[in-house]
Structure 1
Amino acid sequence: MARENLSLTVLGSATPYPSVGNPCSGYLVSGAGARVWVDAGTGTLAELQRHVRLDELDAIWISHLHADHSADLLTAYYGALYADIRLAAPIPLYGPPGIADRLAHFLTNTSVRSPVESAFAIEELQDGHSTRIGALTLTSRAVSHGMPAFALRVEGEGGSLVYSGDTAPCPALTSLAEGCDVLLCEADSAEIPATGEQVHHTPENAGDTARAAQASRLIVTHVGRSLTPRQAVAAASTRFDGPTVYAAPGETFRVG
């Protein structure tokens, strides 16, 4: 495969369930010949196949285990082991602690544990985890979502992309995103909950994080259903002066 610059393809950006024409959170990050499925929300496996087969993936990375970010791992398991896919080796899967047992618990319907490790070579994330996928470097930081959750920085071929996953504003995300070319940041909530127990970014928070990190460009995603994408972009733009757009399903963004 020809080497290409870093790019981000939006497989889906809906929450907390798919919209017509828009699956839940999922992205294909490509660069330097490597292809990584980042988050596997409901409906994203079908869109992934417009670009790459399961047996052509170099890795899968999962931010946290809410269904709108991970549910399609279940059907990917069946595709990898019991259909037309012939894996040369299990697909490297990076995810939060306990991801293997969580998958196996759902998939197992007899006294014999489902062989999730035959489909996925699982490595648990921790704060500061770093790995190389081909010529790409993937660095993960623990973020604030009320459960084990991670943000991701991908660097390669002249570009850097940071993905927030789901999180309240937190220093770990700002630090991870410092100087990045593209910040892909959730903008789920229209306002901060009255309880003060914030677990998501508002669009304004996304703009604040992009500005604090000195990101070059902001892409808002995971926009909550109380907002339109246009409203989310407009609100984020009140806090961030750089280019700001919406993660429209099917769109590909060049990074760097």
Structure 2
Amino acid sequence: MRLVVVGCAGSFPSADSAASAYLVQAEDADGRTWTVLLDLGSGALGPLQAHTDPTALDLVGISHLHADHVADLVVFNVLRRYRPEGACAPVRLHGPPGTLERLAQIAGKDPATEVTGQFDFEPWQEGVPVTVGPLTIEPVAVLHPLPAFGMRVSGPSDVDPAGTVTLAYTGDTDECAGLTTLAEGVDLLLAEAAYIEGRDDALRGVHLTGRRAGAAAEAGKAGRLVLTHLVAWNDPQTTLAEAQGEYDGPIDLARPGAVYTL
């Protein structure tokens, strides 16, 4: 199983990165590659095309409905619907309740049937796993100002063909029971860390800091921590230092194009 960072900027695209978008890929027993996209935020459709064919995705999973995680699904629909060779078959889309209505709202005057016609939508249900090829996705409710889910993704190991590995993506969250569930025993924890200790202490229930992300990885005994959703006005080295103060394992700052093989 592989994780590819497509975009990792927090809240809005930076000069160097699109907003949140991540690919998870794995091969089945017949050698067929299955591809899942986690979030498609502002500006992410462009770099996505450098990593995979957007018309050949097997499933799209959306953590929550803020624009920096979902906005480019509207133009993703355009790419798939109006290509010269004809529209694609609808792709499986999982997200919070109200996802299709949110996309229609972002699209404005476009009829909802035009905006949502490329999606076979099912809402996440807490504790109900979703299977796509050799991958299993478990949605976990987390703490954010609107309904939000993190995702645990399990699948075959690229390192040990006989083994199974798990990565977890927090989406956007503060400390909560769901974060504990996400981090527990995972091989890689992809954790947002948009806030800074001291500066943002009064803003609870929205985002993690590097320290809180590191503490979750340490408590869950995660194998690796990747810090993402890094806001342009933050010094990433400050976020990294916060996490290093809590977690003794390997830590990376997410960057566009990074690939993690599990």
TM-score, length of structure 2 as denominator length: 0.90
Q: What amino acid does structure 1 have at the position aligned with 2:249?
A: G
Match of 1:146, SS state, is: coil
Matches within 5 A, 1:123-134: 123-134=122-133
Are 1:180 and 2:186 counterparts?
yes
Flag the 1:65–1:202 CA change in 2: closer, same or farther, 3 A: same
Deviations 1:4-37 (A, max 9, x none): xx11111111122111221111111111221011
* Other-structure match for 2:39: 39
Matches within 5 A, 1:20-35: 20-32=15-27, 33-35=33-35
Shift of 1:235: 1.4
Separation in 2, partners of 1:17, 1:107: 18
Shift of 1:226: 3.9
* Other-structure match for 2:160: none
Match of 1:30, SS state, is: strand
Q: What amino acid does structure 2 have at the position aligned with 1:147?
A: L
Q: What amino acid does structure 1 have at the position aligned with 2:174?
A: A
Shift of 1:106: 3.1
Shift of 1:51: 1.9
Deviations 1:63-118 (A, max 9, x none): 001111111001001111112464552000111110011112333526x5333442
Separation in 1, partners of 2:203, 2:50: 41
Shift of 1:224: 2.6
Name whichever of 49-58 and 188-197 sits farther off.
Answer: 188-197
Are 1:148 and 2:147 counterparts?
yes
Match of 1:160, SS state, is: strand
Name whichever of 230-239 and 157-166 sits farther off.
Answer: 230-239
* Other-structure match for 1:18: 13
Separation in 1, partners of 2:186, 2:100: 31
Separation in 2, partners of 1:194, 1:136: 37
Name whichever of 16-25 and 85-94 sits farther off.
Answer: 85-94
Matches within 5 A, 1:53-132: 53-84=53-84, 86-107=86-107, 109=109, 112-132=111-131
Match of 2:4, SS state, is: strand
Shift of 1:183: 0.1
Flag the 1:119–1:179 CA change in 2: closer, same or farther, 3 A: same
Q: What amino acid does structure 2 have at the position aligned with 1:251?
A: A
* Other-structure match for 2:30: none
Separation in 2, partners of 1:202, 1:89: 40
Q: What amino acid does structure 1 have at the position aligned with 2:244?
A: S
Alignment counterpart, residue 252 of structure 2, candidates 245, 253, 256: 245
Shift of 1:202: 0.3
Shift of 1:52: 1.4
Flag the 1:181–1:87 CA change in 2: closer, same or farther, 3 A: farther
> Which segments of 5 or more consecutive residues in structure 1 lack a partner in the other structure?
1-5
Name whichever of 213-222 and 228-237 sits farther off.
Answer: 228-237
Shift of 1:55: 1.7
Name whichever of 184-193 and 244-253 sits farther off.
Answer: 184-193
TM-score, length of structure 1 as denominator length: 0.92
Deviations 1:221-241 (A, max 9, x none): 012334222222221011000
Flag the 1:88–1:67 CA change in 2: closer, same or farther, 3 A: closer
Quick check: 1:90–1:117 contact (8 Å CA) kept in 2? no
Shift of 1:194: 4.7
Name whichever of 143-152 and 220-229 sits farther off.
Answer: 220-229
Quick check: 1:154–1:162 contact (8 Å CA) kept in 2? yes
* Other-structure match for 2:212: 205
Match of 2:137, SS state, is: strand
**How many residues get paired?**
249
Name whichever of 179-188 and 26-35 sits farther off.
Answer: 26-35
Name whichever of 115-124 and 70-79 sits farther off.
Answer: 115-124
Separation in 1, partners of 2:54, 2:71: 15
Shift of 1:199: 1.1
Name whichever of 241-250 and 16-25 sits farther off.
Answer: 16-25
Q: What RMSD, in angstroms, separates the aligned Cα atoms of the two structures?
A: 1.7
